[in-house]
């Protein structure tokens, strides 16, 4: 039985990348064929829970997806959430901030996109870019970005206190797998648009990014907003783990359909 909690980073735990295997498929007996065959049942269960959450409209779910370039964030969203009602699911990506956004505190543009009651929101990249990219590329000084771990913990505590369940997922790919995926973008004319020369610059900073992710995860994995480091070299296994994570989170939230109006049994449609 695949238990996604094995990938949870407990508060106060040190992240040792040597102990995380991006090609792991722990808890699943079988390979790609069996893994893909198992996904539809999980998709159906996720859709059922999402309908309850939307109908209840009393709580919400925020899913934070982070990864290195080519880590599979888009593919994860596409495969895991394909069966849910799009009315109650929002996907938001946070790219380089505009001048207007830079005129505010760095969390200003993020808070406005957190999920409303009844909704699931997926952050495809997130507020964590402000302790990752800005650190690696030295866009701000250490005394600035180092304070942001505390800001983020308190921001997420606010969301949790107000009824938002938070699941944060780092899709862990190997450097070798990244090389293959980047090459695939170059080899396929229909994927050329996804390749940027700047991707190679970031690839050259692999170790710096890994260190930044290590610190960010260690500093901000909390009981109310835990991080999960999910093996992501095998896309099919990644999809299974993320599906299980979201289902487990929603089952713990236990959303319920509202009670119907009284007297409906007496209504006759003519």
Q: Give the model confidence (pLDDT) of 31-63 as tens digits.
A: 999 999 999 999 999 999 999 999 999 999 999
pLDDT at 197 > cutoff 90: no
pLDDT at 99 > cutoff 80: yes
pLDDT at 11 > cutoff 90: yes
- Domain ranges in the chain are 4-252
Quote the Cα angle for 104-106-112, to 5°: 80
Residues 210 and 191: their CA atoms lie apart, in Å, by 26
The CATH T-level fold of domain 4-252 is Rossmann fold (3.40.50)
Tokens of 18: 């040597």
Q: How far apart are the first and last CA of the chain?
A: 51
Q: Give the model confidence (pLDDT) of 86-97 as tens digits.
A: 889 999 998 888
Q: By C-alpha distance, which of 135, 136, 131, 74 is closest to 107?
A: 131
Give pLDDT, residue 267.
84
Q: Give the model confidence (pLDDT) of 211-243 as tens digits.
A: 999 999 999 999 999 999 999 999 999 999 999
Q: Give the model confidence (pLDDT) of 136-165 as tens digits.
A: 999 999 999 999 999 999 999 999 999 999
DSSP the chain: ---GGGGEE-TTPPP-GGG--TT--TT--S-HHHHHHHHHHHHHHHHHHHHHHHHH-S-EEEEEEEESTTSSHHHHHHHHSTTS-GGGEEEEE--SPPHHHHTS-TTHHHHTTSPPTT-EEEEES-GGGGGTHHHHTTSS-HHHHTTHHHHHHHHHHHHHHTTEEEEEEEEE--HHHHHHHHHHHHH-GGGGGG--HHHHHHHTTHHHHHHHHHHHHHHH--SSS-EEEEE-SSHHHHHHHHHHHHHHHHHHH---PPPPPTTGGG----
Give pLDDT, residue 16.
96
Q: How far is CA 62 from the centre of its chain?
A: 8
Give pLDDT, residue 189.
86
Higher pLDDT, 85 or 11: 11
């Amino acid at each position: 039985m695949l238990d996604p909690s094995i990938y949870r980073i407990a508060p106060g735990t040190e992240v040792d990348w040597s102990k995380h295997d991006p090609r792991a498929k722990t808890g699943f007996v079988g390979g790609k064929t069996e893994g893909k065959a198992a996904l539809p049942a999980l998709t159906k269960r996720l859709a059922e829970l999402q309908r309850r959450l939307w109908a209840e409209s009393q709580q919400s779910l925020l899913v934070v997806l982070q990864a290195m370039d080519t880590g599979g964030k888009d593919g994860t969203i596409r495969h895991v959430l394909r069966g849910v009602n799009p009315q109650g699911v929002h996907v938001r990506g946070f790219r380089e901030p505009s001048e207007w956004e830079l005129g505010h505190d760095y969390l200003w543009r993020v808070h406005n996109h957190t999920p409303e009651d009844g909704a699931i929101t997926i952050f495809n990249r997130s507020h964590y870019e402000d302790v990752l990219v800005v650190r690696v590329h030295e866009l701000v000084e250490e005394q600035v970005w180092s304070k942001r771990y505390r800001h983020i913990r308190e921001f997420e505590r606010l969301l949790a206190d107000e009824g938002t369940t938070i699941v944060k997922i780092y899709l862990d790919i190997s450097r070798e797998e990244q090389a293959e995926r980047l090459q695939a973008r170059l080899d396929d004319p229909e994927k050329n648009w996804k390749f940027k020369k700047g991707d190679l610059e970031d690839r050259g900073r692999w170790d710096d990014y890994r260190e930044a992710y290590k610190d960010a995860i260690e500093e901000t994995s909390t009981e109310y907003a835990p991080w999960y480091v999910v093996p992501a070299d095998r896309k099919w296994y990644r999809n299974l783990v993320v599906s299980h994570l979201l289902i487990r989170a929603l089952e713990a939230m236990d959303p319920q359909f509202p009670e119907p109006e009284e007297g409906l049994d007496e209504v006759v449609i003519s």
